[in-house]
């Protein structure tokens, strides 16, 4: 607004606020402006007051409390007792904790790339506008809505049980490994299958990104004789890299926090275990067991902070790496 030089003569009457050389005649104007600014600030904070209250009471406050609990011995009933780093040394020395880290890592490292690859592949397929595209898109998206529910976890357990449908189907192909949910090594892959089944949500995001790639780029490349693979690597992938980044970030962070499905498929209600030989004891399950089943709130808080540190590290690495591979259109932001 201040740069409308060409209109300066005509706008003089309106632009006076920013021209103090007119002297005392206009002095009330800046004051009014300041008052308006203050009113705006007041309105802003008033509108935001629910969020601010929520942030202080339910996010910032609890985070500080959690950090404090992490250094205490706290069982909910007695006052927390400061024990320094004991929770952390107990945690690192606990084979079950290390096991839960391993299980979670497998889940994240295998599940997330598979899910995103499938999402991208199917998005490329659906990006071709053909009859039925909208139907397939909706149908592929549906599992993402119900995948986190207890219902699906129960059904999943039935599907991957011994002698159930997956076991029988793989036997048809001569694979005899038994049901996945009864096997300490395999149960985590039934959870991987469950997350891959929900590829629809990242797929929808990929599709939206693909829709924004300018057609001319492909036409120009085709004229230059670039084949489909070249077009994918040199046009599609760089153009959707911001969307890819977003998906990788969100899916990875979510994967670290898997709880309900592991808890249900592992079937450990108050049993201090999760799955056969803790096969599906993911990180948050162990956190729940220690905190709410064993009443070790201090230890569980320390575990939660380790999770936060891990997630923050992954986020930081991803943000750091995006300089190298994420391509933002000029003027897009």
Chain positions 232 to 261 lying near other proteins, rule: CB under 8 A, are 242-243, 246-247, 249, 253, 256-257, 259-260
Shortest separation between residue 171's beta carbon and other proteins, angstroms: 10
Q: What are the phi and psi torsion angles at 308 (to 5°)?
A: -60, -45
Site size for other proteins (CB under 8 A): 101
Does 138 engage in binding with other proteins (CB under 8 A)? Answer: yes
Candidates 11-19, 107-115, 130-138, 320-328; binding stretch for other proteins (CB under 8 A): 130-138
Q: What does the per-residue mask of binding to other proteins show for 289-318, with x meaning CB under 8 A? A: --xx----x--xx--xx-xx--x---x---
Q: Return the number of the residue (156 or 180) whose C-beta is nearest other proteins.
A: 156
Shortest separation between residue 23's beta carbon and other proteins, angstroms: 27
Q: Return the number of the residue (107 or 156) whose C-beta is nearest other proteins.
A: 156
Burial profile 123-161: b = 16 or more Cβ within 10 angstroms, e = fewer: bbebeeeeeeeeeebeebbebbeebbeeebbeebbebbb
Does 88 engage in binding with other proteins (CB under 8 A)? Answer: no
Q: Return the number of the residue (188 or 243) whose C-beta is nearest other proteins.
A: 243
Q: Footprint of other proteins on residues 186-205 (CB under 8 A)? A: 197, 201, 204-205
Q: Cα 168 to chain center, whole Å?
A: 35
- Please choose, from the candidates 135, 138, 144, the residue with its C-alpha nearest in 3D space to the C-alpha of residue 247: 144
Does 209 engage in binding with other proteins (CB under 8 A)? Answer: yes
Measured between its terminal Cα atoms, the distance across the chain in Å is 21
**Helix (H), strand (E) counts: the chain:** 16, 2
Q: Return the number of the residue (126 or 192) whose C-beta is nearest other proteins.
A: 126
How far apart CA 51 and CA 41 sit, in angstroms, is 15
198 Cβ neighbours under 8 A, 6+ residues apart: 115, 143, 144, 147
**Tokens 């490292």 -> residue:** 109
Q: Footprint of other proteins on residues 150-189 (CB under 8 A)? A: 150-152, 154-156, 158-159, 161-165, 168-169
How far apart CA 31 and CA 128 sit, in angstroms, is 59
Candidates 99-107, 127-135, 183-191, 273-281; binding stretch for other proteins (CB under 8 A): 127-135
Among the listed residues 50, 93, 225, 227, the single contact to other proteins using CB under 8 A: 50
Give just the sign of the alpha carbon dihedral 187, 188, 193, 198: positive
Shortest separation between residue 265's beta carbon and other proteins, angstroms: 11
Q: Which two tokens stand for residue 29?
A: 């104007």
Does 106 engage in binding with other proteins (CB under 8 A)? Answer: no
How far apart CA 99 and CA 91 sit, in angstroms, is 11
Q: What does the per-residue mask of binding to other proteins show for 267-286, with x meaning CB under 8 A? A: x-x--------------x--
Does 148 engage in binding with other proteins (CB under 8 A)? Answer: yes
73 three-class SS: strand
Q: Which two tokens stand for residue 117?
A: 């690859």
Among the listed residues 75, 105, 106, 133, the single contact to other proteins using CB under 8 A: 133
Does 41 engage in binding with other proteins (CB under 8 A)? Answer: yes
């Amino acid at each position: 607004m201040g740069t409308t030089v060409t209109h300066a003569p005509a706008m003089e009457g309106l632009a006076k606020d920013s021209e103090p050389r007119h002297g005392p005649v206009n002095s009330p104007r800046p004051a009014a402006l300041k008052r308006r600014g203050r009113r705006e600030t007041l309105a802003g904070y008033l509108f935001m007051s629910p969020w601010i209250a929520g942030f202080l009471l339910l996010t910032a406050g609890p985070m500080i409390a959690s950090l404090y609990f992490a250094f205490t011995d706290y069982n909910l009933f007695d006052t927390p007792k400061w024990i320094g780093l004991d929770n952390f040394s107990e945690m690192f020395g606990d084979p079950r904790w290390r096991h839960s880290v391993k299980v979670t890592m497998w889940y994240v490292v295998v599940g997330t790339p598979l899910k995103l690859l499938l999402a991208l592949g199917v998005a490329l397929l659906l990006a071709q506008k053909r009859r039925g595209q909208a139907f397939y898109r909706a149908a592929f998206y549906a599992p993402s809505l119900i995948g986190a529910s207890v219902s699906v976890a129960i059904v999943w357990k039935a599907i991957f049980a011994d002698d159930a449908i997956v076991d029988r189907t793989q036997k048809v192909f001569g694979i005899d490994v038994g049901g996945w949910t009864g096997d300490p090594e395999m149960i985590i892959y039934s959870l991987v299958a469950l997350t891959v089944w929900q590829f629809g949500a990242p797929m929808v995001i990929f599709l939206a990104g693909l829709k924004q790639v300018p057609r001319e780029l492909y036409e120009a490349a085709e004229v230059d004789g670039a084949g489909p693979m070249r077009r994918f690597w040199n046009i599609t992938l760089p153009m959707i890299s911001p969307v890819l980044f977003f998906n990788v970030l969100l899916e990875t962070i979510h994967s670290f926090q898997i709880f309900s499905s592991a808890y249900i498929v592992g079937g450990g209600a108050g049993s201090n275990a999760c799955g056969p030989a803790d096969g599906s004891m993911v990180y948050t399950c162990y956190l729940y067991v220690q905190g709410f089943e064993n009443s070790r709130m201090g230890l569980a808080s320390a575990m939660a902070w380790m999770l936060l540190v891990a997630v923050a590290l992954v986020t930081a690495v991803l943000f750091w790496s995006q300089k190298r591979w994420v391509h933002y259109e000029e003027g897009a932001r």
